Amino acid sequence: KCEGNFAKATEYLRKALADNYSAVGFAAYKKAQEAQPPKPEGSQNEPLANEKGNSGDVSVPEMPVEEIEKAAPQKELIQNHIGRILSRYQQLLAEYNSTFAVVLKQSERASKDPDGAIVFRRDFSKERMLFEDATALLFGANSNCHKALKESIKLFEQAPMLLEKYIEACQPHLERIKLLWQEIDELRKEYDACPTQSCKDAVNAKIRQKHYEIEQEEYELCLHNKDFHGDQYSLEYKAYKLQYSAFKEAVSDYYAFTNPILEKIYSPSYNELMNLQREMHVLGREKPIQDISLGLADLAKTYIELKCVVPQPPDPVEPLESNLPKKKEGDCPLGKGINQGLGAISFELDCEHVKLSGGEGILWSVSRDFIKHETKVGVGVGAQGTYGNGNITGEAKVMVEVTVGQNGAIKNAELSSSVKAGLGGLIEGEVTGRVSLEGGPSVEATGGFVQPGFPSMPGSE
């Protein structure tokens, strides 16, 4: 009456097998289970064993690979844990083979002389059935463990798409680098053909610029490479977490369901054999999961070792000094220079610099240093005033000045302020403050009496 209704057949068979073991019934039960459609995510059948005990102190350690920056140093720890799994498994296998030989001899002895057998002649068929059923339901094709495995496989299948995306992002940079090297080859030919040193210096500057552009492209490639390894790590960590979480829960249930079953196997050798089989089964399934964590540590190491440094532009080319003899300081035809003022505008000129400044309220200045090949531009605000028929004077100003060197490079920026006061022409004081990129902050103060001048007496020197 259950033909075609596998769920109903499974229900009836579970009830029957809970009381009495039947090899035929158990085979039909397994067939009915396999024929059922997959259950919703996160749900699985319960084992035939209707008694669930304590899982004891069994645990599955989770490897510390959640954060990529902290995973790389954990490689040795993970390797040691995997080594312990392999070592323990080999030990269990040797013990299992030894114990199986003992059980086999006991079984042969009992079959020949049932009355004289120390171990009762019983094969514990029902207990083995319940043990096998718990194993299949918690780790088999319809288990949560297997579902997690399938989901993690889907995640790993995304890796080729990640790689394709990475290659696509890198391609323009690789083509650009190839083109830049071709341009450098042409510039080297131009360099070899240069008739003068100044020509070679100019071409060499172009070559350095091309190398800088290559470094920029390589920097972008490094960033893409780092992103790729970061995305790959995230993908594999999700797979690890899926499998680990499902496996940890399954192991706890596995021991909880099978502990009461194994307690009913009173033959010491047979009981030991089943315990060894259970532990081997768990370790055999843990090893591939921890292998993923070891791969994560390797990925993290590669990620951290990728140091993407922003390239610095080449230094500007300094002009060659002339081989002509330099003029002496006294050779300047302007002598001490020209210093003139017209209203609010002042003008300075000598053989070393020229400066034009002025303004009332809004101050400005422009100067050029012929020796250093620098131009300084300043703008600011200022005010001055008198009080008491000119006996008390005051002056204040704030200026921002920027120094521009060769090729338009900014060499310095400076903010300065000053406050100046005088009393009756006899006492003067000034406080000046500066903050600059080159020199940092500074404050200066000056003050004192002004020595009055008196007309000389006739005949005096």
Q: What is the pLDDT of residues 361-387, one digit of tens each?
A: 666 676 777 677 777 777 776 666 666
Residue 127's pLDDT is 85
Q: Which of 103-107, 130-134, 398-402, 428-432 is least confident?
A: 428-432
Residue 227's pLDDT is 95
Averaging pLDDT over each range in 213-222, 311-320, 346-355, which range is the top one?
213-222
Percent of the chain with pLDDT over 70: 62
Residue 457's pLDDT is 45
Contacts 24+ apart (CB under 8 A), 449-455: 450/425, 450/426, 452/425, 452/426
Average pLDDT, integer, range 421-442: 64
402 pLDDT band (50/70/90 cuts)? confident
Give the whole-angstrom CA distance, residue 421 versus residue 156.
Answer: 78
**pLDDT, tens only, 56-110:** 788 899 999 999 999 999 999 999 999 999 999 999 999 999 999 998 887 777 7
With CA atoms as reference, report the closest residue to 368 among 347, 386, 382.
347
Give the whole-angstrom CA distance, residue 368 versus residue 381.
Answer: 21
Where is pLDDT greater, at 435 or 151?
151
Give Cα separations from 395 to 197, 269, 340, 443 (angstroms).
Answer: 53, 106, 21, 17
- Positive or negative, the Cα torsion across 43, 44, 50, 54? negative
454 pLDDT band (50/70/90 cuts)? very low
Is this prediction's pTM over 0.75? no
**427: Cβ contacts below 8 Å, ≥ 6 apart:** 447, 448, 449, 450
345 pLDDT band (50/70/90 cuts)? low
**pLDDT, tens only, 198-246:** 999 999 999 999 999 999 999 999 999 999 999 999 999 999 999 999 9
Is residue 79 within 8 Å of 66, Cβ to Cβ?
Answer: no
Average pLDDT, integer, range 146-172: 94
Residue 154: how many other CB atoms lie within 10 Å: 10
Give the whole-angstrom CA distance, residue 422 versus residue 388.
Answer: 12
- H helices present in 113-143, as ranges: 125-139
**439: Cβ contacts below 8 Å, ≥ 6 apart:** none
461 pLDDT band (50/70/90 cuts)? very low
Residue 368's pLDDT is 74
Residue 73's pLDDT is 94
Residue 133's pLDDT is 86
Give the whole-angstrom CA distance, residue 10 versus residue 16.
Answer: 10
Average pLDDT, integer, range 162-181: 95
Say if residue 260's pLDDT is above 50: yes
- H helix and E strand count, the chain: 9, 9
Where is pLDDT greater, at 391 or 78?
78
Residue 448's pLDDT is 58
390 pLDDT band (50/70/90 cuts)? low
Domain ranges for the chain = 6-159+251-290, 338-445
Where is pLDDT greater, at 322 or 188?
188
Mean pLDDT of the chain: 79
Q: Which of 16-30, 143-157, 260-274, 393-407 is least confident?
A: 16-30
What is the biggest distance separating any 2 CA atoms in the chain, rounded to whole angstroms? 156
